[in-house]
Chains A and B, each alone.
Chain A
Amino acid sequence: MDEHWQDLISQDELEAGDVTPVPFGKTLLAVYDTVDGIFVSDARCTHAGANLCDGYFDGKFIECPLHQGLFDARTGIAKAAPVTRPLKMFKARVHNRMVQISL
């Protein structure tokens, strides 16, 4: 079955080397410009629901702005307390300079 790719945001609009918040329907997504390419996750921290897009991002790991829990932005894996559950990740690609996710 063919994958259905949905446009999210132009690559030119991304915050270079950082995380960009992108509203998608009723959800807020976090688009990470990582050292290994573009990755997309649900923007909510799995600990207490804070907006990860306001957190500190070092190119690999995203830190929650409220409690400094840590996730690997490339895999969604919870790396440090108080987070224990992984981030919800979306399959992403860049096509014609447009960041897309697969639904």
Chain B
Amino acid sequence: MSLTTNASLPATVQTPITQAMAEGALTRKELKALMQRSDKPAIMRLLVWFCLVATTGYLIWLAYDSVWLLPAMFIHGIVLVHHFSLQHECCHYTAFKTRWLNDIVGNFCGLVIMLPNRFFRYEHCDHHTFTQLKGKDTEMIELPENLAGYFWYISSIPYWKAKLNELWRHSLGNLTPGEKKFVPKEERKTVILEARLMVLFYCVVIVVSVLLQSTAAIWYWFLPVVLGEPVMRAIRMTEHVGRPMVYDMKTNTRSNIVSLPWRFLCWNMNYHAEHHYASSVPFHALPALNRKLDGYVHVEKRGYVGAHADILSQLLGRVARQNTSTIDQTNNRDS
């Protein structure tokens, strides 16, 4: 056996966390302590989560046949679309220590918001590899050209159009050349099967609803998710939009200091820069990582509102647009 390097791989990739340790932002010992996993925090939070979903669903029941129905569905929808945050945590296997629990809960969340878990996992991997690099970041939301583009994105119409198209295309067995770059050959069948099972699941829900002559799925699920999605789109924008399009995690990602209810809903993903620095650190340790990386990453102390004020300032030309692409900075992350 020899120690020659594997020619198909670059030298060890400088990940954000190796960079942070090299620059003395935190020590190996601190990182390892923050990485420790546990099932308990997520289980405890899930208990409250289910109570919250039941409560906001009950609001819809109370508001039936009144002018309060739409606001109730909107509030319920805000909670429902935050299943994305839990799914995201599960896709990093940091929600639960028990790995298969992450798969089960992640798939459940994916069904709630129509986001195939396996496919999302692969897509999200490349988002972490090529964060904020135009043409490479698979989840990049570009800084809109103008106010119309800003509101068009938040409307969620382009989002749903893309997601419905994606699910249908995958269920037909088609992946785009771009998708084939991040879904390995061995996994394409799984991704296609997942899409087919998901379509089948929604068909079953519709058929059962028709047979039972029930509109519950519409009032308690589909419509609230559609109404709530603009909130999730607006939150997703705060993570990277308007930050420099460079390979430097100190600047390309934005953390937002938000109040406890929002932190609860988003599973601490408001500490987004910290998450990108060390994606193996579970959600319950992100506040501690935030304190540790104080001054090292970009933090928007005014929260989501401040992030959108920053984005809008760029759109309206009050400050310089931070959308200069510097793809040549990828170096060996081009693998």
Q: Which residues of A contact B (CB under 8 A)?
A: 15, 18, 24-28, 42-44, 46-51, 54-56, 58, 63, 65-68, 70, 80-82, 84, 88, 90-91, 102-103
Give B90-134 interface residues, CB cut-off 8 Å to A. 92-94, 99, 118, 121-122, 125, 128-129
Given contacts A65-B280, A84-B186, contact A54 B6 (CB under 8 A): no
- Kindly list the 6 A-B residue pairs having the minimum CB-CB distance in the complex, ordered from nearest: A49-B13, A67-B125, A56-B35, A49-B9, A51-B12, A68-B93
Q: Give A70 to B333 CA distance when docked, in angstroms.
A: 20
CB distance from B107 to the nearest CB of A (A): 13
Q: Is B3 among interface residues, defined by CB-CB distance under 8 A?
A: yes
- On chain B, the residues within 8 Å of A43 by CB distance are 12
Shortest distance from the beta carbon of A80 to any chain B beta carbon, whole Å = 7
CB-CB nearest in chain B for A66: B15
Contacts of A66 in B (CB 8 A): 13, 15, 125, 128-129, 279
Query: Is A51 a contact partner of B35 (Cβ separation < 8 A)?
Result: no
B93→A63 contact, CB < 8 A:
yes
B92, A82: Cβ atoms closer than 8 Å: no
Answer whether A56 and B187 are a contact pair too, CB < 8 Å, given A24-B3, A50-B12, A81-B118: no
**Contact across chains for A55 and B280 when beta carbons are under 8 A apart:** yes
Task: Tell yes or no: B332 within 8 A of A by CB.
Answer: yes
Tell me whether A44 and B21 are in contact (CB under 8 A).
Answer: no
Chain A residues near B186 (CB, 8 Å)? 84
Q: Which residue numbers of B lie inside 8 Å of A, CB to CB?
A: 1-3, 5-6, 9-13, 15, 17-18, 21, 28, 31-32, 35, 37, 92-94, 99, 118, 121-122, 125, 128-129, 182, 184, 186-187, 278-280, 332-333, 335
* Chain A residues with CB under 8 A of B129: 48, 66-67
Residues of A within 8 A of B128 (CB): 66-67
Pick the most buried of A47, A58, A65, A70: most chain B CB atoms within 10 A of its CB.
A65
The residue on B at minimum CB distance from A21 is: B28
Contact A49 B12 (CB under 8 A): yes
- Pairwise interchain contact B99-A80, C-beta atoms closer than 8 A: yes
Which residue from chain A places its CB closest to the CB of B103 in the assembled complex? A80
- Interface contact A68-B9, CB-CB below 8 Å: no
Known: A24-B3, A28-B12. A49 touches B335 (CB 8 A): yes
Shortest beta-carbon distance, B279 to chain A, in Å? 7
Q: Which residue of A lies closest to B282 (CB)?
A: A56
Q: Are A63 and B280 in contact (CB under 8 A)?
A: yes
Q: Assuming the A-B contacts A48-B335, A67-B128, A68-B279, are A82 and B184 also in contact, with contact meaning beta carbons closer than 8 angstroms in the complex?
A: yes
A46 touches B125 (CB 8 A): no
Which residues of chain A are within 8 angstroms of B37 by Cβ–Cβ distance? 56, 58
User: In the complex the two chains form, what is the Cα distance from A49 to B333 in whole Å?
Assistant: 9
Nearest B residue (CB) for A3: B1
Contacts of B21 in A (CB 8 A): 54
In the complex, the answer to whether A82 meets B31 with C-beta atoms within 8 Å is: no
Contact assessment for B1 and A102 in the assembled complex, using a CB-CB cutoff below 8 Å: yes
Q: Verify A50–B280 contact, CB threshold 8 A.
A: no
- CA distance in complex: A35, B10 (Å): 31
- Chain B residues contacting A65 (CB-CB under 8 Å) are 15, 17-18, 278-280
- Contact, CB under 8 Å: A81 / B187: yes
Across the interface, do A50 and B13 meet the contact criterion of CB distance under 8 Å? yes
Contact A46 B184 (CB under 8 A): no
A54 B18 Cβ-Cβ under 8 A: yes
A93 vs chain B, min Cβ distance (A):
14
Known: A26-B5, A65-B278, A84-B187. 18 other contacts (CB 8 A): A15-B28, A18-B32, A25-B3, A28-B12, A44-B11, A44-B13, A47-B125, A48-B13, A48-B333, A49-B12, A54-B17, A58-B37, A66-B125, A66-B129, A68-B279, A82-B121, A82-B122, A103-B1
Contact B15 A51 (CB under 8 A): yes
Known: A27-B3, A49-B335. A81 touches B122 (CB 8 A): yes
Which of chain A's residues have a CB closer than 8 A to the CB of B94?
A: 68
